[in-house]
Amino acid sequence: MKREKPPGHHLVCDGKTDETAPMTLIFEAKTLQPLQVGSGTHAVAEVEGRDQWLLDHVVMARVEHEAEKTYLVVPGSSLKGAVRSIAEAITDSCVSAATPAGNGVWRNAKRCSDIERLCPACSLFGAPSYLGRASFRDSIVPDGRSTVVSTPNLWAPARGRRLPRFYFSTGANEAQDRAGAGRLGRKFYFHRRPARGPVNRRIIKPTTLLNITVNLRPAGLSEAGLIICALGCHPEHRFPIKLGAGKPVGLGSIEFVPRKVIIYGNSQGSLPTGRLGGQCRELGGKELEEWIESSVDAAMRPKEEGKPLVDIARLQRLASIYSVEGFDTEAPSGAY
Q: What DSSP letter does each residue of 187-245 carry, written as one string?
A: --PPP-BPPP-SEEEEEEPTT-EEEEEEEE--SSHHHHHHHHHHTTEETTEE--EE-SS
DSSP β-bridge partners for residue 72: 59
Q: Does 89 bind Zn ion (CB under 5 A)?
A: no
Instruction: Count CA atoms within 13 Å of residue 219 on its CB side.
Output: 18
Q: Which of these ranges, 62-70, 122-130, 189-197, 272-280, lies near Zn ion under the rule CB under 5 A? A: 122-130
Q: Contact, 331 vs 189, CB < 8 A?
A: no
User: Of 115-123, 144-152, 215-223, 263-271, which part binds Zn ion (CB under 5 A)?
Assistant: 115-123
What are the φ and ψ backbone dihedral angles of 97, each rounded to 5 degrees?
-85, -5
Q: Is 87 in the site for Zn ion (CB under 5 A)?
A: no
C-beta of 111 vs 237, nearer to Zn ion:
111
Stretch that binds Zn ion, among 87-95, 193-201, 300-308, 325-333 (CB under 5 A): 87-95
Report yes or no: 336 and 192 within 8 Å, Cβ to Cβ. Answer: no
Of the residues 12, 112, 216, 230, which one makes contact with Zn ion according to CB under 5 A: 112
Which amino acid, residue 213? T
Name which position in 109, 119, 249, 292 contacts Zn ion (CB under 5 A): 119
Query: CB under 5 A: which stretch of 89-97, 213-221, 228-236, 278-286 binds Zn ion?
Result: 89-97
- Binding residue for Zn ion (CB under 5 A) from 73, 90, 98, 122? 122
Q: Quick check: 310 binds Zn ion (CB under 5 A)? A: no
Whole-number Cα distances in Å, 205 to 22, 159, 208: 34, 31, 6
Cβ 312 to Zn ion shortest distance, Å: 21
Interface with Zn ion (CB under 5 A), residue total 4
Burial 222-258 (b: 16+ CB within 10 A, else e): bbbbbbbbbbbbbeebebbbbbbbbbbbbbbbbbbeb
- Which one of residues 94, 214, 245, 298 is an interface residue with Zn ion (CB under 5 A)? 94
Counting contacts by CB under 5 A, is residue 25 touching Zn ion?
no
Contact residues toward Zn ion (CB under 5 A) are: 94, 112, 119, 122
